[in-house]
Structure 1
Amino acid sequence: MSHRKKQKKDKNTNGKKKNNLKGSLTVLVRKLFEKNEGSELTHRQVCTLLDMRDGALRKLAYSVLQELVEQGFLRAVSHSTYTLNKTAAFLEGYLDLNNRGAGFVTVEGHEKDIYIDPKSVGKAIGGDKVKIRLTRFGKTRVEGEVVEVIERERTHFVGTIQLHDTFAFLVPDNQRVGTDIFIPKEKLNGAKDGEKVLVKITVWPESAASPYGEVVERLGQRTANDTEMISILVNQGIDYVFPQEVIAQAEEVTMDLDEEEIKNRRDMRDVLTFTIDPFDAKDFDDALSFLRLENGDLEIGVHIADVSHYVRPGSPMDKEALHRSNSVYLVDRVVPMLPEQLSNFACSLRPNEDKYSFSVVFKMDENGAIKDVWFGKTVIHSDRRFAYEEAQEIIEGKEDELKEQILMLDKIAKVYRKKRLKKGALNIESEEMRFKLDENKNPVEVLIKTSKDAHKLIEEFMLLANRHVAEFIGKPSKDRDPIPFVYRVHDEPDLAKIELFKVFIDKFGYDLESSDQKTVSKSINALLNDIRYENEYSIIQSMAIRSMAKATYEMENIGHYGLAFEYYTHFTSPIRRYADLVVHRILMEELTHKKHIYGSGLDDVCKRISRNERKAAEAERESTKYFQTIFVLDKIGQEFEGTVSGIAEQGMYVRMDENQCEGMVPMNQIPGDRYYFDPEKFRIIGHKYKNEFNFGDRVKVRIYEVSPRKRQIDLELVE
C-alpha cells in the first residue's frame, strides 16, 4: 500500500517537474527570439543556441515552438522555421489600474484589454501610454508586462503626507495611481504629517521602487470642497491652472476688432442676432440670426465664435488647448480649455458687442426646406441674450418683441427633429443633476435639469450646422482628393449588449424588437415614449444609453447611429472643444483653397481628444457624487422613499425620491436573510426565504453613513 502511494506521488512530482521545465523553456525561447528580432530560426537552430542535446528536451522545445505560434507570439515561416510575430509580441496602449494594483491596457484594434499583473506594471502609473510585451495567451484573457513608459500622462498628484524621520511619502487620494511617492525632507516645503498637498513627480530612479517628488502646494489653507475638486481634477490628469506663457499670450488678445479684418468678412451686424444659453453661462459659443427675405423665405444664420482667428496652430495657447482638449464642468466651477480672456471675453458672443464669427447661413422656407447654404467668416452683433427659461416662456405663450422669430425657429426645429426620429435617431431626453449653491459654494438644493423646447430649438440648429459642415467636407467629389477630417461618429449597437438590456427591461414587464441594429433605435424610442410617465422611465433610459456604443472622434467616417446622420462633426463649440477648433481650420482651408496643415497626425489628435473627453466626463461624474454626499451629510438618520436603481455583487443602489441622490445598501446589511446576487436574472435573492429585489422596486431607506472622501452614501433598508 505504501509502495503504491509512493508511485502516485512520484508521478505527480514528475508531472510538476515537466510543467516547470516547459515553463522555463518557454521563457528561454521567448527571450531568444526577442534578442534575435527579425531573424528566422529553425527548430534545430533553437536547440543549438540553447545547447539542448537531449532528445526529450528537443522534443519539448518543438512543442513549445508550436504553442508560441498558436498564442501568436511566433509566426511559422515554413515547416519548422519561426520568427517573432512583431505585431503580436509588442503592443502600445493606455494603462488603467484597479485598487489592487493590477493593470488593464487598452489597445486600439483589440476587443479585450490586456491584463497586467501588479508585479509586471514596472514604473508605469495609471493613465500612462505604455509599451507592453505579451506574456500569456489564455482562453479567457491575454496577459502582458510593461516594458516601457512611452508617455507619462500625469506628473501631479493630490494626497496625504506620511512623515518619517528623514523623509516622507505621499499617499495619493486616487488609489488607482498604483504607487506612493517618495519625498525627501528638503522637498516637503513645510508640509506636515497628515496634511493634504499637491506633489509633482521629479524623477523615478532606476533602482527605486517609488518615484521621487516634491510638494508644490499645501492645500490645507483651502476649503474642503476646493481641495476635493482639485483632487478630482489632478487625479484625472486635468490641469486646474494655465502655464504662465499661455496666460501671457491670452492677455495680449484685445477686445477691439480690426477694421481691415472686418473688410475680409461678411458683415452681418445689422441682422437680428441673439443667443440662448443657460442662465449662468459666461462662454457663449453660438448665436442665431433671423432675417425675412423679400420672397418670404428665411435666412437663418448659425454663428460660432471664431476661436481660430485668435488661437494659431502651434502657439502656446493652441498646444495647451490640445493638451486639455475640452472645458471641464464641475458642480462649483468651470475649468476652461482656453484662458478666461478668450473664453469669457474676446471670443464669447456676448450681447451688444461686435464679434468675429464663423458662420453657416441657411436660406429656407418656413417648413425648413433648405434652398442654399453659405459657409464663411463673418462679423456679428448679438442684440439680445436669452436664458433657456426665458425662451421657453415665450414658446409657451409669453409676449415678447422677438416672439415671432422664436416661434418660427421653434416650428422649424420641431420639423427637423421629427425627420430625425423618423429616420431612426434615438429620442433620448437628457436629465442632468445640478445643485443650487450658497455663498460658500455648499449645496442647498438639488435641481434636475430637463430638456425642453428651448433646448431642443438650439440643439436642432446646432445639429444642422454640424451635419452640413461634415457633408461639405466629407462627401466624395470628383475634383478633389479626400480631405483629412475629424468626424464625430457613433457606431451601431452591439446586439449582445442589447440582449442584456432586454433581460433588464424584462424585470419591468417590457420587451424590445431587436432583430437587427436598424430596428433597435425605433424600438427603444417606442418603449421610452410608452413609459415616459412611469417611475422606471429614468432608470430604463439610463440603461438604454449604457447599452449603446460611445461616440468618439475619428478620421474614418462610419456615421452617427444615435443621430441617424451619415455625416456628422463638431463645429459649434470651439471655445470649449478642441475638435471644433480643428474643424474650423480645415473648413477655412478648404474654402480658401489653401494647403491643409493636418495629415496623418490628425489621427493622434482624434485619439487624444476622445481620451480627454472621457477623463472630463469622469471628473464631472465624480464632482456630482461628491456634492451628493455633502448635500445629505446633515441628513444621517433620516428616512426616504426610493427606487432600486442598480444591482451588483456588493449590494443594491437606491435613488432617493426627495433629493435624487443615490446610495448603496450593502449586501450583508439587507435584513431577514442571507442575500446573494443572481447574475443571470439581474436580481438580489434571499438564500432561505427566496425574497428578491429587482431594478425599479420601491423601497424605504435610512441614511446611516456618509463619506465625502469616498464619494459614498451608505443606506439601510427600513423594514
Structure 2
Amino acid sequence: MPVKSNDIVKFIESRPGRPLSAREIAEGLRISPSQRKKFYRLLESMAADGQVARLKGDRYALPRQPTLVTGTVSVHRDGYGFVSPRDGQGPDVFVPARFLREIMHGDEVVVRVERGGRPGKPEGRIVSVEKRAHSTLIGLYEPGRKFGSVHPADPRLNQPVFVPEGQELGAQAGQVVLVAIDAYPNEFRNAEGHIVQVLGDPSDPAVEILSIIHKHGLPQEFPAEVLAEASLLPEDVQPGDLEQRKDLRDLPFVTIDGETAKDFDDAVCLRREEGGTCRLWVAIADVGHYVKEGSVLDQEAYLRGTSVYFPGQVIPMLPERLSNGICSLNPQVDRLTLVAEMVFDAKARRQDSCFYPAVIRSRARLTYTEVHEMVEKQLAETIERYGELHPMLTEMLALSEDLTAMRRQRGSLDFDLPEAEIILGVRGEPENIIKAERNKAHRLIEEFMLAANEAVAFFLGQRDIPLLYRVHEPPDIAKLQAFQQFIAFFNYGLNLEAQGVDPRALQELLAQVEGKPEERTINQVLLRSMKQAFYSPENLGHFGLAADHYCHFTSPIRRYPDLQVHRVLRQALQSGGLPESQKKGLADALPEMGEHTSRTERRAMEAEREIVELKKCQFMAERVGEQYAGYITGVQPFGLFVELKEFFVEGLVHLTTLSDDFYTYEEDRHRLVGQYRRRIFQVGNEVEVQVKNVSVERREIDFVLVDLAVNPADSQEPPKGRRPQRKSKKR
C-alpha cells in the first residue's frame, strides 16, 4: 500500500527527540525498495510545500509552529512596543519599531513570537490587526501645501495623520483639533483623515480639558433622550414613594464630604447602646428607585460606567437632575435610601446586620474640615454651630478607630500615598499645588463605607446571589521577591512562603516605615507590586483589605457596579428572593458587565491622572529657572526623582546633568554612586534643585541640582587622567 503524507507526518511526530534522515523514515514506515523512489519524491514535495522541514545533513522534522499571541500593543514614544496578552497569561512580547509602521498605540493585534530574546523576554512581529483602538485623535494641526497634518497629543501615537486639502475645517496652524481617521497607516503611507472639530488654542484651560476628554474617549454631553427621561423625574420625594420603607427621618443622619462636593450619596448615623455595642446606620441614595433597569438613563449610566473627576470639573455618570438633585442626600429634605444597619461589639466586630429601603432626612451637610475641628481640634466655635451632633461624631470617631485597628490586625493594607490638590484660578489655571490633607474625618467615613460594603457582600454571598464583587488578587511571588530585595537595602525584612505572603506581614512593614524618609518610596514600590483591583462575578476575595467578601455598594451615583449591587440587594430582600431563572440570567450577564466597568474605571483613572500631571506642568512652566528645596523620592538608572517641599510637585534630575562625576546605578540598593568622588544619591536625601525645563506636551518636569547647574548639562567630564565608564552595576 503506497505511503501517504499523513503517514510521514505522524511518524516524525512520534519521534520527537531529533530530526530523522530519509532512510530512517523509510525504514520506520517499512517502505519497500521498489517504493523508495516514490517515497523520496513525496518527501521532497512535502518539504517544498512546508509540510515538513528539511534541515542540515538532509534530515527532516516537523516545521516549528509559530507561537501566536493576541493582545493589546503599547507603543513607546521612541517607536518600539510591547504586546500584552489578552488573557493576561505569559510575558509581554517585545516588538521592534520597524514592525510597528502599520500599528497605532492601543490596537488589538496578533503577534508572532519569532525568537526568545532574553530569558522570559519574547520578541516578535505583528502579523494582523484584530481591532483598531482609535477612530479619532486629538492633536496639533500643521498646514502644508497639498496635505496638512495632525500631530497626536499622545506621544505614543508617534505618526502624524495627513489631512488632504479641503478637509481641514478651517483649522489654523498650532490649533488643537479632533481628526477622524479615514485610512489607517500601512507600509507605504501614514494615516489619513479629516478634521471634525477645531477645539482651539492649546494654552486655553478649557481646550486642555477637552483634549484629554477626547483623547481618552470620555463621554461628554448627555444625549437629548437621556435628559428628556431625567426631566420627567420629580424634584422631591413623593408620598407614594414612602410605601414599604422604614421611616428613619427622626434619626440624626449627617453627610461628611469635601468642601467642593455637590453630590452626596451616603449619610451616616450612630448610637451607642448598652454593653458597649454600637449601632451604625449607613444610608445610601436609592438610585435604583429612579433609574430603572433597561431605561435610557440606565443604558447611558452603564456606557459611562463611572463619574470622572477633574480639578474644578466633573463628568457625571448621571445627569445633574439626579446626581445633584433627587438622588443627592441634601440636608433638611426627605430622600430615599437603601440602608445597611450594623451592630458592632466593643472590639468593633460586626455582630449583626440588616438591610432595607428607608426614607431619611439629613441633619447637616458636614465637611471633613468641620468634623476635624470638632472631634480632633475641639474647636469651640464649630462645636457650638453643630452642638447637638458633636457627641455622636465623637462616638463615630471612636468606632472608626476601632474598625481601623481591627482591619490592620487581620492584615488590611493602608498605603500612605498622598494626592495632589490643585488650586485653580478664575480661568482654570493652576494657582497652587498642595498635598491634599487627610485627617481622621476622612478615615471615619472610609471605615464606615468599608464596613457597609463588606456586610452587603457577605449577605448576598451567603445566599448565593450573583453580584459584581470588588476583587483584589494576591500579588505574584516573583514581584514579592523583587520587593523583598528592594526593602533589604533599607534594612527591612519580609518573610515569604511558597504560596506568597501573609498580608499581616505587609501591614507590619508599612507600620515600620511610617514617618521614615523612605516611607513614600516603599509604599509606591509595594503598590506597584500589587495586582489591580477589578469587578468580577467570581468572589476572589480582596487581598488589600484582607476581606473574604467585598463589593461596592456605597456610591451608586457615581459607580455603575454599586447600582447593580443595589438592584440585586433589593431583589434579595423581597419575599422569596431571586428565582433560579433570574439568578442564571444574572450569572450570564455579569462577566461582561465586570469587564466593561473595570475598563471604564481604568479609563477614568488614566484621564484623572493625566489632568493632574498637566496642571503640575503648567504650574511649573511659569517657574523655569527658579530654585527650590526638595528631597529624593526615587532613584533610577537614568536619574533622580525629586519632590519639592514648597509645592507637591515631582521632577527628574537626569543622569546627564550630574556633571561632577561618573555615576553608577547600584540596582540592588537603588542608589547612584560617583565612581571617583563617591558622592551618593539615595531616597530621602535633601537637595536643592533648579527648574531646568518643562514640557507640557510630554508632561515632564526636569530639574538640575543647584550645585551643578553651572556645569554643562549634556556631558560629564571625568577627573583628569581617568577613563570614563558608564554602566549599571549589580551587586
- TM-score, length basis structure 2: 0.81
Q: Answer whether contact 2:112 2:127 (CA < 8 A) is retained.
A: no
The C-alpha deviation readout for 1:226-274, integer Å capped at 9, x for no partner, is 2222222322232343344433433333323333232133332232211
> CA offset at residue 169 of structure 1?
2.1
Any residues of structure 2 matched to 1:313-352 within 5 Å, and which? Answer: 313-352=293-332
Q: 1:229 to 1:561 in 2, by over 3 A?
A: same
Q: Answer whether contact 2:141 2:177 (CA < 8 A) is retained.
A: yes
Q: 1:244 to 1:49 in 2, by over 3 A?
A: farther
Letter in structure 2 aligned against 1:332: G
How far apart, CA to CA, are the structure 2 residues paired with 1:374 and 1:452? 30
Q: 1:587 to 1:148 in 2, by over 3 A?
A: farther
* Equivalent position to 1:536, from 507, 515, 518: 518
How far apart, CA to CA, are the structure 1 residues paired with 2:42 and 2:470? 52
Letter in structure 2 aligned against 1:108: D
How far apart, CA to CA, are the structure 2 residues paired with 1:414 and 1:168? 61
2:639 paired with 1:651: yes
SS in 2 for 1:358: strand
> CA offset at residue 458 of structure 1?
0.8
2:471 paired with 1:493: no
How far apart, CA to CA, are the structure 2 residues paired with 1:432 and 1:617? 13
Q: 1:164 to 1:446 in 2, by over 3 A?
A: closer
Residue 127 of structure 1 aligns with which residue? Answer: 106
The C-alpha deviation readout for 1:100-120, integer Å capped at 9, x for no partner, is 343433322413123445555
How far apart, CA to CA, are the structure 2 residues paired with 1:705 and 1:519? 43
> CA offset at residue 668 of structure 1?
0.9
Residue 691 of structure 2 aligns with which residue? Answer: 703
Q: 1:261 to 1:270 in 2, by over 3 A?
A: same
Q: Answer whether contact 1:668 1:675 (CA < 8 A) is retained.
A: no
> CA offset at residue 423 of structure 1?
0.9
Letter in structure 2 aligned against 1:168: G
The C-alpha deviation readout for 1:15-64, integer Å capped at 9, x for no partner, is xxxxxxx9xxxxxxxxxxxxxxxxxxx99989646646999838899856
How far apart, CA to CA, are the structure 2 residues paired with 1:280 and 1:436? 12
SS in 1 for 2:64: helix
Residue 216 of structure 1 aligns with which residue? Answer: 196
How far apart, CA to CA, are the structure 1 residues paired with 2:473 and 2:415? 16
Q: Answer whether contact 2:54 2:60 (CA < 8 A) is retained.
A: no
How far apart, CA to CA, are the structure 1 residues paired with 2:478 and 2:49? 49
Residue 65 of structure 1 aligns with which residue? Answer: 62
Tell which deviates more after alignment, 133-142 or 558-567: 133-142
* Equivalent position to 1:258, from 238, 243, 252: 238
Q: Answer whether contact 1:424 1:518 (CA < 8 A) is retained.
A: no
> CA offset at residue 567 of structure 1?
0.8
How far apart, CA to CA, are the structure 2 residues paired with 1:272 and 1:50? 84
> CA offset at residue 143 of structure 1?
4.6
Letter in structure 1 aligned against 2:603: K
2:111 paired with 1:114: no
Residue 615 of structure 2 aligns with which residue? Answer: 627
Any residues of structure 2 matched to 1:372-383 within 5 Å, and which? Answer: 372-383=352-363
Q: 1:617 to 1:551 in 2, by over 3 A?
A: same
Letter in structure 2 aligned against 1:655: E
The C-alpha deviation readout for 1:615-652, integer Å capped at 9, x for no partner, is 32222222222222222233322222221112223221
Q: 1:699 to 1:513 in 2, by over 3 A?
A: farther
> CA offset at residue 426 of structure 1?
1.5
Letter in structure 2 aligned against 1:96: S
Q: Answer whether contact 2:627 2:690 (CA < 8 A) is retained.
A: yes
SS in 2 for 1:246: helix
Any residues of structure 2 matched to 1:44-443 within 5 Å, and which? Answer: 48=45, 51=48, 57=54, 65=62, 67-68=64-65, 73=66, 89=68, 92-106=70-84, 107-118=86-97, 120=99, 125-128=104-107, 130-136=108-114, 138=116, 139-143=119-123, 149-177=129-157, 179-202=159-182, 204=184, 209-220=189-200, 224-290=204-270, 299-364=279-344, 368-396=348-376, 397-398=378-379, 399=383, 400-443=387-430
SS in 2 for 1:604: helix
Q: 1:261 to 1:147 in 2, by over 3 A?
A: farther
> CA offset at residue 155 of structure 1?
2.9
SS in 1 for 2:419: strand
| RMSD of aligned residue pairs (Cα, Å) | 3.3
How far apart, CA to CA, are the structure 1 residues paired with 2:539 and 2:59? 46
> CA offset at residue 405 of structure 1?
0.9
Residue 458 of structure 2 aligns with which residue? Answer: 471
Q: 1:663 to 1:259 in 2, by over 3 A?
A: same
Gapped runs of 5+ residues in structure 1?
1-21, 23-41, 74-87
Q: 1:180 to 1:322 in 2, by over 3 A?
A: farther
Q: Answer whether contact 2:305 2:597 (CA < 8 A) is retained.
A: yes
Any residues of structure 2 matched to 1:680-719 within 5 Å, and which? Answer: 680-719=668-707
How far apart, CA to CA, are the structure 1 residues paired with 2:204 and 2:51? 69
How far apart, CA to CA, are the structure 2 residues paired with 1:271 and 1:60? 90
Letter in structure 1 aligned against 2:422: F
2:650 paired with 1:672: no
Gapped runs of 5+ residues in structure 2?
1-18, 20-38, 708-731
Q: 1:181 to 1:315 in 2, by over 3 A?
A: farther
Q: 1:46 to 1:102 in 2, by over 3 A?
A: farther
How far apart, CA to CA, are the structure 2 residues paired with 1:498 and 1:321? 38
How far apart, CA to CA, are the structure 2 residues paired with 1:44 and 1:488? 63
Q: 1:208 to 1:587 in 2, by over 3 A?
A: farther
Q: 1:140 to 1:386 in 2, by over 3 A?
A: same
Q: 1:59 to 1:44 in 2, by over 3 A?
A: farther
The C-alpha deviation readout for 1:416-443, integer Å capped at 9, x for no partner, is 2111111111133341110222222222
Letter in structure 2 aligned against 1:324: R
> CA offset at residue 343 of structure 1?
2.0
Q: Answer whether contact 2:520 2:633 (CA < 8 A) is retained.
A: no
Q: 1:59 to 1:232 in 2, by over 3 A?
A: same
Residue 9 of structure 1 aligns with which residue? Answer: none
Q: 1:98 to 1:241 in 2, by over 3 A?
A: farther
Residue 441 of structure 2 aligns with which residue? Answer: 454
2:528 paired with 1:546: yes
Q: 1:485 to 1:143 in 2, by over 3 A?
A: farther
The C-alpha deviation readout for 1:450-470, integer Å capped at 9, x for no partner, is 432211111111111111111
Q: Answer whether contact 1:507 1:694 (CA < 8 A) is retained.
A: no
Q: Answer whether contact 1:94 1:105 (CA < 8 A) is retained.
A: yes
Q: Answer whether contact 1:414 1:457 (CA < 8 A) is retained.
A: yes
How far apart, CA to CA, are the structure 2 residues paired with 1:658 and 1:402? 37
The C-alpha deviation readout for 1:325-366, integer Å capped at 9, x for no partner, is 222222332222222222222322111222222221224456
Q: 1:151 to 1:58 in 2, by over 3 A?
A: closer
- TM-score, length basis structure 1: 0.82
How far apart, CA to CA, are the structure 2 residues paired with 1:388 and 1:542? 26
Q: 1:315 to 1:144 in 2, by over 3 A?
A: farther
How far apart, CA to CA, are the structure 1 residues paired with 2:64 and 2:156? 34
Q: 1:50 to 1:517 in 2, by over 3 A?
A: closer
- Aligned length in residues: 654
> CA offset at residue 663 of structure 1?
0.9
2:427 paired with 1:445: no
Q: Answer whether contact 1:250 1:339 (CA < 8 A) is retained.
A: yes
Residue 618 of structure 1 aligns with which residue? Answer: 606
